[in-house]
């Protein structure tokens, strides 16, 4: 599928009202996709993403859905199909990050991240496997912390490790439909999700953990997703692309 040249290619980007998700939505719209900007609660920010896409000549709508709710995910896909006629690309970006050592991690911290990061991805993958048109693309967002194994990231990294496993298995289960399934695993990226609660000293130290000695930007991650979903990424399948500036 030449997703860039097909003006009717339709992409759902979950958690796309801000940060990396918004950057992905805007980049995919620039590449010619009609984009469903999914959001959980902030309609105003989602509408602003849509406005920027439309102002740049693209096509987009904002649709609310809590990805942890399978019924809401089903309605999200149905609404996308009703508006655009089908779905070709699914980008699972929605996620939360709550940090604490395992000994201090309460049930709420565990359950909320499992519900959104893991169950939410499972819900959209299941629906996407049923509904994506042949030749489509699925991209899940993981994290480079899966490999780095940093303290206090245990539960968060565990959810993303599970997402990487689902990525590899679903890529095999969709055999015969020319649908690729991959993951992009950002390193430290300058978003509110990452920066919140961190001291300037910690941010500076983490920005120097990779050889390029800077934090990633949402555009860096959107570029990686665009490659996988575009025509040049068609032979990439079942892989995890660690977009982290060379961080080991």
pTM, full prediction:
0.94
pLDDT tens figures, 14-55: 999 999 999 999 999 999 999 999 999 999 999 999 999 999
Question: Does residue 38 sit within a domain?
Answer: yes
Question: Does residue 23 sit within a domain?
Answer: yes
Residue of 122, 153, 156, 194 marked catalytic: 156
Question: Does residue 199 sit within a domain?
Answer: no
- Rounded to an integer, what distance in angstroms lies between the CA atom of residue 47 and that of residue 34? 15
Question: Does residue 108 sit within a domain?
Answer: yes
Question: Does residue 211 sit within a domain?
Answer: no
pLDDT at 198: 85
- Is 156 in the active site? yes
Query: Residue 4: which of 230, 156, 168, 201 has the closest Cα?
Result: 230
pLDDT class of 196 with cuts at 50, 70, 90: confident
Q: Residue 155 belongs to a domain with what CATH number?
A: 3.40.50.720
- Rounded to an integer, what distance in angstroms lies between the CA atom of residue 218 and that of residue 33? 19
Question: Does residue 197 sit within a domain?
Answer: no
What is the domain count for the chain?
1
Helices 120-131 and 154-173, axial angle in degrees (round to 10):
10
Helices 43-55 and 19-30, axial angle in degrees (round to 10):
30
Strand partners, 181: 138
- Rounded to an integer, what distance in angstroms lies between the CA atom of residue 45 and that of residue 43? 6
Rounded mean pLDDT, 201-209: 90
Domain extent, residue 179, equals 10-190+218-241
Compute the Cα dihedral for 60, 222, 165, 214 and give only its sign.
negative
Our CA angle for 113, 167, 192, nearest 5°, is 40
pLDDT tens figures, 153-169: 999 999 999 999 999 99
Question: Does residue 198 sit within a domain?
Answer: no
* Lowest-confidence region among 3-12, 27-36, 112-121, 228-237: 3-12
Tell me the pairing of strands 180-184 and 34-39.
unpaired
Rounded mean pLDDT, 216-239: 97
Question: Does residue 201 sit within a domain?
Answer: no
128 pLDDT exceeds 80? yes
Rounded mean pLDDT, 158-181: 98
């Amino acid at each position: 599928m030449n997703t860039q040249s097909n003006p009717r290619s339709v992409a759902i980007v979950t958690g796309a009202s801000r940060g990396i998700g918004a950057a992905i939505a805007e980049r995919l719209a620039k590449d010619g996709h009609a984009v469903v900007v999914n959001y959980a609660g902030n309609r105003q920010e989602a509408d602003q993403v849509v406005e920027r896409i439309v102002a740049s000549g693209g096509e987009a709508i904002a649709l609310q859905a809590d990805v942890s709710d399978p019924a809401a995910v089903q309605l999200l896909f149905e609404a996308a199909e009703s508006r655009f006629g089908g779905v070709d690309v699914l980008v699972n970006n929605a996620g939360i990050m709550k940090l604490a050592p395992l000994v201090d991690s309460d049930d709420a911290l565990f359950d909320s991240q499992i519900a959104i990061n893991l169950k939410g991805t499972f819900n959209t993958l299941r629906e996407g496997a049923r509904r994506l048109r042949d030749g489509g693309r699925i991209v899940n967002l993981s994290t480079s912390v899966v490999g780095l194994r940093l303290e206090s990231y245990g539960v968060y990294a565990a959810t993303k490790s599970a997402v990487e496993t689902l990525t590899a298995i679903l890529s095999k289960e969709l055999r015969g439909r020319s649908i690729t399934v991959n993951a992009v695993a950002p390193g430290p990226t300058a978003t509110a999700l990452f920066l919140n609660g961190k001291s300037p000293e910690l941010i500076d130290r983490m920005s120097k953990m990779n050889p390029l000695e800077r934090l990633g930007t949402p555009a860096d991650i959107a570029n990686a997703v665009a490659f996988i979903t575009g025509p040049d990424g068609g032979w990439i399948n079942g892989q995890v692309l660690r977009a982290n500036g060379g961080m080991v």
